[in-house]
Amino acid sequence: MSEVAASTPFNPDPYAIPLDSKFNVAQARLFQQDAHWAWFDRLRSESPVHYCDESEFGPYWSVTRYNDIMEVDTNHQIYSSEGGIAIVEQAEDFRLPMFIAMDPPVHDEQRKVVSPVVAPMNLKKLESTIRERAAGLLDDLPTGEEINWVDRISIELTTQMLATLFDFPFEERRKLTRWSDVATASEESGVVESEEQRRQELFECLQTFTEIFRERQARPGNNDLITMLAHGESTRDLLDRPMEFLGNLILLIVGGNDTTRNSITGGVLALNQFPAEYDKLRANPGLITTMVPEIIRWQTPLAHMRRRALVDAELGGQQIKAGDKVVMWYVSGNRDEQAIENPYEFAIDRARPRQHLSFGFGIHRCMGNRLAEMQLRIIWEEILKRFDNIEVVGEPTRILSTFVKGYSDLPVILHPRK
């Protein structure tokens, strides 16, 4: 697959080609080169619901305007999540049952089971541990020399937070990152050598958590996710359904991993690109509250979600056929000037900063959205206490993906507060 993609001519200018059924925005290289913006600008203004009949992911519709995306997201009776939520298809024979890729009624039942673990009441109880660990990490960072923000801070903080949520053995926390990477690895990513290895590692994940689950069953009273699952009325027998147990674990690990990681990095990049906003923030740290959702909008950590039409439907004047793949490009809707004022500006004091598409809307709306916001708020509060400036000193390296919108490298120099 990757070889075909690499040998086709690649022109990052969307105005150099006709806007027809070959106009294909689902090219990972566009995102890696940060060249996708103009493609979506063109689609939004000239063909907001656009059919591409040929891509490495097969034919698909692109939905690019805020309101049309909202319409797809809120009509789950027409636009189904069953079978997968990214443009790329999953291997048929090893699909973990996860409610993110299910329709009602099973989706609703399963989400209800785990959603109390990220309820605001529980988040409050986890806040102090997350803060202590974040503070410890930031205190140990070298100042005045170039470091990779992604590796030193974003990945490490996110991993620590995951370990805190699960009360996972802290020294073994990088296993969580590994399982997240393995679970989402594509064939060409090189993360695993074979499908067999992937299954083997995920099986180890299941075994590890089965032991933890048993241990917590015998020892109630903690606030971590596994203790809650081990004692929850509808989850205490989860070990009898190992694939469902593994599916839910992976969903919680993956859901909060890349997304939060790339929001942490994205915030630093945005403040450097909009220095006046950084000044505002330094003058008034209270703006963290409105800055956090703005970071999540600006970054849009997941570029799209996909659906499949169950019946024929009309959308934005186009005829969608039953069975068609429909891709909601959140990354585009979040730059739609008809819905968001000055959408290309990063503005940390917007009046309604939460009105963005990054968490989706409707029954699949991100279950961890308050958790994600809390994590970012804590991190920024602790950063501002310590550093006067996180200076970006080079170009970021972006990830090769049409789904995860993020970074593998961001060189920075930390300047401590005087």
Q: How far is CA 284 from CA 104, 240, 335, 389, in A?
A: 44, 52, 26, 14
Minimum CB distance to ligand HEM, residue 237 (Å): 20
Minimum CB distance to other proteins, residue 73 (Å): 7
Binding partner of residue 252 among other proteins, ligand HEM, none, CB cut-off 5 to 8 Å per kind: ligand HEM
Among 302, 313, 320, 414, binds ligand HEM (CB under 6 A): 302
DSSP string over 270-281? HHHH-HHHHHHH
Minimum CB distance to ligand HEM, residue 137 (Å): 18
With beta carbons less than 8 A apart as the criterion, state whether 299 and 396 touch: no
Among 104, 142, 220, 275, binds other proteins (CB under 8 A): 104
With beta carbons less than 8 A apart as the criterion, state whether 98 and 251 touch: yes
Helix (H) or strand (E) holding 28: helix 28-32
Residues of span 69-108 touching ligand HEM by CB under 6 A: 81, 85, 99-100
CA 158 – CA 150 distance, rounded (Å) = 10
Please identify, among the stretches 52-60, 116-124, 139-147, 268-276, the one whose residues bind other proteins according to the rule CB under 8 A. 116-124
Beta bridge partners of 393: none
Q: Looking up tokens 């400036």, which residue turns up?
A: 389
The most distant pair of C-alpha atoms in the chain lies apart, rounded to whole Å, by 65
**Residue (161 or 192) nearer to ligand HEM, CB:** 161
**Residue (242 or 362) nearer to other proteins, CB:** 362
With beta carbons less than 8 A apart as the criterion, state whether 163 and 170 touch: yes
Closest CA to 207 of 233, 179, 173: 179
Mask 356-395, x = binds other proteins (CB under 8 A)? ---x-xxx-x---xx-------------------------
Binding partner of residue 108 among ligand HEM, other proteins, none, CB cut-off 5 to 8 Å per kind: other proteins
Residues 6+ apart with CB under 8 A from 316: 48, 49, 63, 65, 68
Structural Rg of the chain based on CA atoms? 21
Output the 3-class SS for 131-189: HHHHHHHHHCCCCCCEEEHHHHHHHHHHHHHHHHHHCCCHHHCHHHHHHHHHHHCCHHH
Instruction: Round to the nearest angstrom and report the end-to-end CA distance of the chain.
Output: 53
Please identify, among the stretches 154-162, 163-171, 314-322, 353-361, the one whose residues bind other proteins according to the rule CB under 8 A. 353-361
Binding partner of residue 242 among ligand HEM, other proteins, none, CB cut-off 5 to 8 Å per kind: none
With beta carbons less than 8 A apart as the criterion, state whether 49 and 68 touch: yes
Minimum CB distance to other proteins, residue 118 (Å): 9
**Residue (24 or 334) nearer to ligand HEM, CB:** 334
Q: Spell out a b/e string for 111-144, using b for 16 or more CB atoms within 10 Å of the CB, else e.
A: bebbeebbeeebbeebeebbbebbbebbeebeee
Three-state DSSP class for residue 327: strand
Among 266, 343, 353, 360, binds ligand HEM (CB under 6 A): 360
Among 17, 91, 119, 243, binds other proteins (CB under 8 A): 119
Among 355, 385, 393, 415, binds other proteins (CB under 8 A): 355
Among 95, 214, 352, 385, binds other proteins (CB under 8 A): 352
Binding-site size, other proteins (CB under 8 A): 22
CA 324 – CA 22 distance, rounded (Å) = 16
Among 9, 120, 190, 317, binds other proteins (CB under 8 A): 120
Minimum CB distance to other proteins, residue 121 (Å): 7
Binding partner of residue 100 among ligand HEM, other proteins, none, CB cut-off 5 to 8 Å per kind: ligand HEM
Residues of span 296-325 touching other proteins by CB under 8 A: none
Closest CA to 327 of 39, 41, 9, 51: 51
Binding positions for other proteins, rule: CB under 8 A: 70, 73-74, 104, 108, 111-112, 115-116, 119-121, 352, 354-355, 359, 361-363, 365, 369-370
- Point out which residues bind ligand HEM (CB under 6 A): 81, 85, 99-100, 111, 118, 251-252, 255-256, 259-260, 263, 296, 301-302, 305, 358-360, 364, 366-368, 371-372
